[in-house]
Amino acid sequence: PPSAPADPAAPPPRALGPPPQGSVGASPRAEGRPSAACPEQEECSVSADTVLAPLRAALDACRATVQKQVCNDIGRRLTVLEDAWAQGKLSAPVRKRMSLLVQELQQQHWDAADEIHRSLMVDHVNEVSQWMVGVKRLIAETRDLPTRE
């Protein structure tokens, strides 16, 4: 139906009727997208220790072969992470994903752990930038350790 032309002397516009009900016709081009609700937004009850303890253990394993300065640097950043966590500065998605990262690290899935670190850097850079590079380095150094059983 043609639209009513705008005219200064026109009568007031007709009262707005509701939109039609029922099907829209063929579904829009985009396929159904995954729900926007992110599971990470649920209450996250990961404790700091479940994340920090394995990281510190990994660091200890590196001390024998990796340069002292590098280990100290990583250690320093793990402390920053620990403090930030204790002070409640980290959001739920960050805490959740860190626990996933640690799990991957413990299972020696280096690439997966690396991917998680990258995704955290990209999505939450302002929260993680101070200490994440230490975790990144820890993954890299642990991966390069002489083969373990």
Partner 1 sequence: MATYLEFIQQNEERDGVRFSWNVWPSSRLEATRMVVPLACLLTPLKERLDLPPVQYEPVLCSRPTCKAVLNPLCQVDYRAKLWACNFCFQRNQFPPAYAGISEVNQPAELVPQFSTIEYIVQVKEPQASPQTPLIFLYIVDTCLEEEDLQALKEFLQMSLSLLPPDALVGLITFGRMVQVHELSCEGISKSYVFRGTKDLTAKQIQDMLGLLRPAVPMQQGRPLQTPEQPVISCRFLQPVHEIDMNLTDLLGELQRDPWQVTQGKRPLHSTGVALSIAVGLLEGTFPNTGARIMLFTGGPPTQGPGMVVGDELKTPIRSWHDIEKDNARFMKKATKHYETLANRSAANGHCIDIYACALDQTGLLEMKCCANLTGGHMVMGDSFNTSLFKQTFQRVFSKGYNGEFRMAFGANLDVKTSRELKIAGAIGPCTSLNAKGPCVSENELGIGGTSQWKICSLDPSTTLAIYFEVVNQHNAPIPQGGRGAVQFVTQYQHSSTQRRIRVTTIARNWADAQTQLQHIEAAFDQEAAAVLMARLGVYRAESEEGPDVLRWLDRQLIRLCQKFGQYNKDDPNSFRLSESFSLYPQFIFHLRRSPFLQVFNNSPDESSYYRHHFARQDLTQSLIMIQPILYAYSFHGPPEPVLLDSSSILPDRILLMDTFFQIVIYLGETIAQWQKAGYQDMPEYENFKHLLQAPLDDAQEILQTRFPMPRYIHTEHGSSQARFLLSKVNPSQTHNNLYAWGQVS
Binding stretches for partner 1 (CB under 8 A): 3, 5, 16, 18-30, 33, 67, 69-70, 73-74, 77, 117-118, 121-122, 125-126, 129-130, 132-134, 136-137, 140
**In the bound complex, what is the minimum distance in angstroms from residue 29's beta carbon to partner 1?**
6
Structure-token pair, residue 62: 């590196």
To partner 1, the closest distance from the beta carbon of 40 in angstroms equals 19
Nearer to partner 1, 107 or 118 (CB): 118
DSSP code at position 88: T
CB nearer to partner 1: pick between 29 and 148 = 29
110 CB-near residues (< 8 Å, 6+ apart): 104, 139, 142, 143
Residue 141: which residues within 8 A CB-CB, separation 6 or more? 62, 66, 70, 74
What token pair was written down for 120? Answer: 């955290």
Least CB distance to partner 1 at residue 68 (A) = 11
Instruction: Name the CA radius of gyration of the chain, rounded.
Output: 26
CB of 50 or CB of 110, closer to partner 1: 110
CB of 47 to partner 1, least distance (A): 26
Quote the least distance from Cβ 96 to partner 1, whole Å. 19
Question: What tokens were used for 69?
Answer: 């300065």
Residue labelled with tokens 């992470």: 81
Alpha carbons 35 and 131: distance in angstroms, whole number: 31
- Our CB check for partner 1 shows the closer of 47 and 119 to be 119
Nearer to partner 1, 12 or 20 (CB): 20
